[in-house]
């Protein structure tokens, strides 16, 4: 018995010494390479589990805070199977974003890249990316808003809010709204059974983003792959039908699908499907989360809610009940934009982006080897007290022109990324959120069900739906 115990203890001792030696060797080697300070964590898995665990809690900040305190705002870690330089520094982030296509290229974990598809915007490179990015921008710019998008957004928001009953799961309802808007923009389809089935499959696809990227090891990823296949089949059927209609001389629609099919050198069905998949991911996940968190923060900040109501009641007083909002109405929503900015800053729905070095890069006195991942943390910058006074408090007034609580906001505020890969639908997202807030505060009053507290940072896997009890401003409960 004693001999067995001694042998076990010896094995454990040798294993511990070997692991310690390996970690010491890796740290010493990376210091010699001129990398930023940091820790690569455990062999193979690095610090991935700590990151995922942190972002499933109500307060994920310690993952960044502890490392910034120990190593500085740029540090080395190991995430999703690869050594990674993590940046919570505004200057470093801007340098990387500005050198997209020169020193860096877009690079995401395999679980995300595989589900998005090789022709999605996040995987496109060079002239193809530039062309598709420009095309997307043309369908979501101010001109398109004035022409027809404002009317579509207003109508679809009204349609969805019109079905609200006394108890509303706000996250779910927001997802329906934004998904319907995107489907309309892409295919001209109005809300119906087809779009609802597609939306339910999207939930499974997005669940697979932050999972092990192998179906044998992850049930979640296996379900996501299956759902992605169904999404592709549904979109391909729509593309095929539209091609046949156009060949038969049908009147051309003004949606994005028509533009892609009619392009001079054309796009294959696979290219269009992958392109649409990525756009609909944003519509299903990011914008509705911002909407929900805006309501959460406003509910917790009565003075901001009162000022927002006042702004929108003035706009509504100049219109009939059935009259749609116009572009000029949107441009007059000055405090609304403060609310949207502050929600984007505090919530950080897009916490950051991954890039990969295409050559050895010198940055901030450090040397980043070719092929290394770099993660740009927008969240780390947006919640930095050096850039925003009382940074972790929701304060929409900081965005007013006479405020002194913000320093250099245009340089450090990057909720939609930056450089050539800035989110092409950023203006569309702002408009959709603003129109939603307009109809919400002018049509309803509400209270939040306190027993279902929403996680401060809702990840793609959050189950919180932020239930609220709504009542129409005319005194009657909303119709079902």
Q: Any binding-site annotation on 106? A: no
Is the Cβ–Cβ distance between 287 and 429 less than 8 Å? yes
423 vs 115: CA distance, rounded Å = 19
218 vs 225: CA distance, rounded Å = 11
Q: 243: how many CB neighbours lie within 10 A of its CB?
A: 13
DSSP class of 38: B
Is the Cβ–Cβ distance between 473 and 444 less than 8 Å? yes
Using alpha carbons only, what angle is made at residue 333 by residues 328 and 336, rounded to the nearest 5 degrees?
150
**DSSP SS3 for 268:** coil
* Residues 249, 254, 255, 260, CA torsion sign: positive
Residue entry with tokens 């039908």: 241
What values do phi and psi take at 41, rounded to 5?
Answer: 65, -150
Q: Is 381 exposed, middle or buried (0-12, 13-18, 19+ CB in 10 A)?
A: buried
88 vs 62: CA distance, rounded Å = 13
CA-only gyration radius of the chain, Å: 24
- What are 274's two structure tokens? 């992958």
Q: How far is CA 285 from the centre of its chain?
A: 7
**DSSP SS3 for 169:** strand
DSSP class of 148: I
* Residues 62, 64, 65, 70, CA torsion sign: positive
Q: Select from 378, 400, 374 the least CA-distant residue to 387.
A: 378
- H or E element in which residue 336 lies: helix 334-347
77 bridge partner residues: 84
167-169 vs 352-357, strand pairing mode: unpaired
DSSP class of 253: P
Which residues carry a binding-site annotation?
423
Which residues carry a binding-site annotation for heme?
423
């Amino acid at each position: 018995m004693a001999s067995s115990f001694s042998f076990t203890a010896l094995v454990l001792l040798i294993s511990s010494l070997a692991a310690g030696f390996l970690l010491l060797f890796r740290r010493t080697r990376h210091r010699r390479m001129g990398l930023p300070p940091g820790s690569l964590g455990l062999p193979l898995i690095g610090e991935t589990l700590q990151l995922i665990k942190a972002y499933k809690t109500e307060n994920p900040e310690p993952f960044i805070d502890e490392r910034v305190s120990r190593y500085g705002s740029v540090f080395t870690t190991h995430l999703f199977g690869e050594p990674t330089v993590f940046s919570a520094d505004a200057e470093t982030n801007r340098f990387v974003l500005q050198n997209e296509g020169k020193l860096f290229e877009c690079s995401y974990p395999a679980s995300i890249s595989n589900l998005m598809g090789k022709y999605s915007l996040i995987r496109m490179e060079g002239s193809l990316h530039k062309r598709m990015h420009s095309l997307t921008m043309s369908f979501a710019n101010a001109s398109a808003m004035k022409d027809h998008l404002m009317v579509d957004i207003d109508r679809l928001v009204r349609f969805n809010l019109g079905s609200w009953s006394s108890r509303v799961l706000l996250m779910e309802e927001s997802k329906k709204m934004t998904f319907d808007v995107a489907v309309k923009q892409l295919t001209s389809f109005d809300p119906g059974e087809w779009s609802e089935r597609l939306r339910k499959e999207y939930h499974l696809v997005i669940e697979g983003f932050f999972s092990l990227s192998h179906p044998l090891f992850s049930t979640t990823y296996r379900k996501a792959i299956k759902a992605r296949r169904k999404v592709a089949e549904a979109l391909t059927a729509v593309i095929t039908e539209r091609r046949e209609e156009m060949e038969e001389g049908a009147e051309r629609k003004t949606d994005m699908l028509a533009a892609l099919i009619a392009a001079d050198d054309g796009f294959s069905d696979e290219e269009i499907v992958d392109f649409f998949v990525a756009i609909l991911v944003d519509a299903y996940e990011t914008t509705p989360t911002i909407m929900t968190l805006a309501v959460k923060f406003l509910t917790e900040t009565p003075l901001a809610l009162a000022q927002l109501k006042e702004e929108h009641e003035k706009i509504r007083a100049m219109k009939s009940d059935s009259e749609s909002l116009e572009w000029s109405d949107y441009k007059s929503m000055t405090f609304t934009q403060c609310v949207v900015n502050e929600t984007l800053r505090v919530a950080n729905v897009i916490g950051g982006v991954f890039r990969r070095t295409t050559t050895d890069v010198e940055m901030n006195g450090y040397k980043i080897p070719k092929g290394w991942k770099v993660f740009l943390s927008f969240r780390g910058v947006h919640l930095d007290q050096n850039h925003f006074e009382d940074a972790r408090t929701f304060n929409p007034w900081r965005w007013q022109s006479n405020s002194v609580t913000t320093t250099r906001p245009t340089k450090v505020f990057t909720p939609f990324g930056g450089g050539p890969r800035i989110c092409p639908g950023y203006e569309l997202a702002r408009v959709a959120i603003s129109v939603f807030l307009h109809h919400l505060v002018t049509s309803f009053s509400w209270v939040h069900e306190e027993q279902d507290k929403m996680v401060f940072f809702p990840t793609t896997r959050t189950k919180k739906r932020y239930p609220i009890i709504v009542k129409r401003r005319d005194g009657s409960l909303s119709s079902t």
